[in-house]
Amino acid sequence: MEGQGPPQGIDQRRRRVDEANNPTRGMIHMISGGATDGDFGRARKACGRRMENFEISKPQDPIISFGPEDLRGVAAPHNDDLVVTVTIENYDVSRIFVDSVSSVNVLFKGTLDQMKIEGFELEPISTPLYGFTGHAIQPLGQIFLPVSMGNDPRRVIKMVNFTMADAPSSYNGILGRPTMKDFRDVASTYHQKLKFPVGREVGMLRGDQRVARQCYEGVVHEEGKKTRVEVSMIRGGEKLKIAADLETEVKEKLVIFLKANLDVFAWSVQELRGIKPAVMEHKLNLLSGVRPVKQKKRHFRPDKDKVIKEEIGEFLGVGHIREVKFPTWLSNVVLVPKSLGRWRMCVDFRDLNKACPKDCYPVP
Whether residue 123 lies inside any domain: the answer is yes
DSSP class of residue 330? B
CB 308 within 8 A of CB 345: yes
Euclidean distance between CA atoms 76 and 57, whole angstroms: 37
Are residues 196 and 289 located together in one domain of the fold?
no
Whether residue 294 lies inside any domain: the answer is yes
Flag whether pLDDT at 227 surpasses 60.
no
Phi and psi at residue 33, to the nearest 5°: 135, -155
pLDDT given at position 12: 56
Whether residue 352 lies inside any domain: the answer is yes
Are residues 160 and 93 located together in one domain of the fold?
yes
- Average pLDDT over every residue of 203-232: 77
Are residues 260 and 161 located together in one domain of the fold?
no
CATH code, domain carrying 323: 3.10.10.10
Which class for 351: exposed (0-12), middle (13-18), buried (19 or more C-beta within 10 A)?
middle
pLDDT given at position 234: 57
Euclidean distance between CA atoms 105 and 185, whole angstroms: 14
Identify the CA nearest to 223 among candidates 162, 154, 167, 161. 167
Are residues 136 and 253 located together in one domain of the fold?
no
Report the greatest alpha carbon distance in the chain.
Answer: 92
Q: For residue 26, name the pLDDT band (cuts at 50, 70, 90).
A: very low
- Average pLDDT over every residue of 166-172: 86
Helices (H) and strands (E) in the chain, counts: 8, 15
Q: How many residues does the chain have?
A: 364
Euclidean distance between CA atoms 236 and 195, whole angstroms: 57
Reported as a single tens digit per residue, the pLDDT across 188-217 is 999 999 999 999 999 999 999 999 998 888
Are residues 308 and 260 located together in one domain of the fold?
no
- Number of structural domains in the chain: 3
Range of the domain at 88: 73-208
Reported as a single tens digit per residue, the pLDDT across 97-152 is 999 888 899 999 888 888 888 777 888 888 888 764 456 778 889 999 999 999 88
Q: What percent of the chain has pLDDT over 70?
A: 75
pLDDT given at position 120: 77
DSSP class of residue 33? B
Residue 49's identity, in one-letter code, is R
Whether residue 162 lies inside any domain: the answer is yes
Reported as a single tens digit per residue, the pLDDT across 39-95 is 556 665 665 555 555 454 556 779 999 999 999 999 988 989 999 999 998 889 999
CATH code, domain carrying 145: 2.40.70.10
Whether residue 1 lies inside any domain: the answer is no
Are residues 111 and 182 located together in one domain of the fold?
yes
53-to-47, 48, 58, 165 alpha-carbon distances in Å: 10, 9, 16, 33
Whether residue 100 lies inside any domain: the answer is yes
Reported as a single tens digit per residue, the pLDDT across 303-331 is 999 999 999 998 888 888 889 989 999 99
